[in-house]
Each structure stands twice: as C-alpha cells, then as structure tokens.
Amino acid sequence: MQALVNSWFDILKFMEENPQRADEIMARRAGVTPEELQLFKDGIRFFTIEDNLKAFSPGEGMQHMSYAARQMVDFMVRVGFISEGPKDLEALFDDRFVRAYAESVGIRR
C-alpha cells in the first residue's frame, strides 16, 4: 500500500513537471485527443499531499473525510437508500500511508 501511495504522488509530481507529456499519456490511455482531455481536466482537482493530510484530519467541513462520510451516511439513511450506517466511520480512514509519504518528503503535521 505504501508503494501505491508513493507512486501516486510521484505521478502528481510528474504531471506538474511535465504537463504536456502527462496530458499526452492520459489522453492516449483514455482514448481521447489532448484537446478533449482538457474538457475533462477543467472539472478535476488532484489533491496535494497537504490536501490529503487535511482530508484525513478531524474537523467540520466537507474537506474532512470523516465529516463528509457522516453527512453522506445521514443523507442516505434519511432518503431510505440504506437502513442504517456503519457504527464506526472513523475505522474506515487510515492515514498512516499518507503520513508516511509526507514525512518522507519532509512534511510534518
């Protein structure tokens, strides 16, 4: 899992340092032109390591995964999509791999 997380952030770094080449690769893999890819990219935001650390932290607001999960569960129960939500939502979120990556690149939280 740590290698997967590390690879993801390596990919984001490559995309930042080589935007044209990254777009060419993504467009080819998606079967679209680089111009068509731009239409998709306008609606996409890739989370930075700082964004990820914040997402895993406790807090009020949709930028915190535990808060967002509670809101989604409450909504799904209220509209009858599910009868009840998980008892321990916090157990779903494990930040150790993101924290380990952050520490490996000198980001302390």
User: Distance (Å, rounded) from C-alpha 51 to C-alpha 57?
Assistant: 10
Write the pLDDT tens digit of every residue in 15-26.
Answer: 999 999 999 999
pTM: 0.80
- pLDDT band, residue 42 (cuts 50/70/90): confident
As a whole number, the mean pLDDT across the chain is: 94
Tens-digit pLDDT profile for residues 53-62:
999 999 999 9
d(CA 47, CA 62): 14
Q: Shortest CA distance to 3 belongs to which of 70, 32, 11, 24? A: 11
For residues 11 and 38, give the distance between their C-alpha atoms in angstroms, rounded to a whole number. 18
pLDDT at 43: 83
Q: What's the pLDDT at 108?
A: 79
Q: Average pLDDT in the 4-8 region?
A: 97
